[in-house]
Amino acid sequence: MLDTLKQPKRGVVPPASREQYVEAFNWMLLARTVEEKLASLWRAGKISGGVYLGKGQEAISAALGIMLKPGDIFGPLIRDQAGRLAFGEPLIDVFRVHFGSRTGLSRGRDGNVHRGDPRRGYHAMISHLGSLISVVIGALVARRFQGDITAIGATTIGDGGTSTGAFHEALNMAAVEKLPLVVVVVNNQYAYSTPNHRQFACTDLVERAIGYGIEGHSLDGTDLRECLEVLGQATERARSGHGPQMVVGNCLRLTGHGEHDDAFYMDKSLSYTRLGRDCLKVAENYLQEHQWADEALLENWRKNAKEQVEDAVVNAQHEPLADPNSETWCPYATQRIAAALSVR
């Protein structure tokens, strides 16, 4: 069956350069540092609601983020801190939204991973999985109407999200419209607590690309080099008119679903497999093996990430919080509609 999978040959895109690898690594490192801080702020009771981390998925996310260019469209999901930063999210926005700052992207109206800046192609997910894919499709349709044939769109989803009707509708629609869309399925083995074998029955999720008539790619999500190579190729294929690309990245979620979840249900033996490797450690080793960075340089990068995060936290904490008295309580953009409803 896999014989019919349209899987472009590897090696079309040259292996990652030191420059590219180091850039992606630093986004991974910054994302990990951000998330460790978020977890500690959450434990200290400084963040309302949940905190959802992407530990173990930074390589896929960062590699995708750096393949996108200004003017592209990105619909990140919950474990995409690295990709968000690589796509240009200002660090302070992460903390503004988590704290509920009045100056943040959603001004206390929505929190944590639901942030985005759709004006610049950075979409704000809702909790309903699969539903963001068609929004990215629509943005690409608009670009096509407007004569922009250079932009691509990318969005991510987990193994669980592939079971939704919205996922199926969107993948099929993107294929029908032959859009330059990259859908990255991060199979981190668990959807909250549900393991793969209770989620889907195909051998490998990439097989689904066959049914949609689109190109499929697989990658080892613990290996940044492979993430860069395969996502480089998938984004390039999308950009050069080969239609939607489905990329399935395999890894292990190295954290609970959220910080409230101790993940007691996870099969501990997975930690000792290739899937269970920490992509950040793998990348550090790779950098050292290739003499692209030594321990002193790594330590310097870590220190730099920590400083940036501390600065962002302090600055965000000084901002005023969401306030019911200055809140407009108006969900309408049209003034006269808002006025008509405020009469009551």
Q: Provide the binding-site residues for other proteins, judged by CB under 8 A.
A: 105-106, 109-110, 114, 116-119, 123-124, 126-128, 131-143, 145-146, 165-166, 169-170, 172-173, 176, 331-334, 336-337, 340-341, 343-344
**Helix or strand or coil: residue 122?**
strand
Cβ atoms < 10 Å from Cβ of 115: 22
* Strand spans (E) along the chain: 73-75, 153-158, 181-187, 190-191, 194-195, 215-220, 245-250
Shortest distance in whole angstroms from residue 171 CB to other proteins: 9
Q: Which is nearer to other proteins, 2 or 126 (CB)?
A: 126
Q: How far is CA 271 from CA 20, 23, 187, in A?
A: 28, 27, 15
Q: Which is nearer to other proteins, 269 or 335 (CB)?
A: 335
Shortest distance in whole angstroms from residue 133 CB to other proteins: 7
Q: Which is nearer to other proteins, 47 or 181 (CB)?
A: 181
Q: Which is nearer to other proteins, 5 or 139 (CB)?
A: 139
Shortest distance in whole angstroms from residue 164 CB to other proteins: 9
In this structure, the dihedral spanned by the alpha carbons of residues 139, 161, 163 and 201, taken in order and rounded to 10 degrees, is 130
Q: Which is nearer to other proteins, 20 or 131 (CB)?
A: 131
Shortest distance in whole angstroms from residue 259 CB to other proteins: 22
Shortest distance in whole angstroms from residue 283 CB to other proteins: 33
Shortest distance in whole angstroms from residue 25 CB to other proteins: 31
Please tell me the distance from the alpha carbon of residue 24 to that of residue 30, in angstroms, as a whole number: 10
Residue type for 231, please?
L
Closest CA to 112 of 76, 65, 138: 76
Please tell me the distance from the alpha carbon of residue 167 to that of residue 129, in angstroms, as a whole number: 8
Q: Which is nearer to other proteins, 137 or 252 (CB)?
A: 137
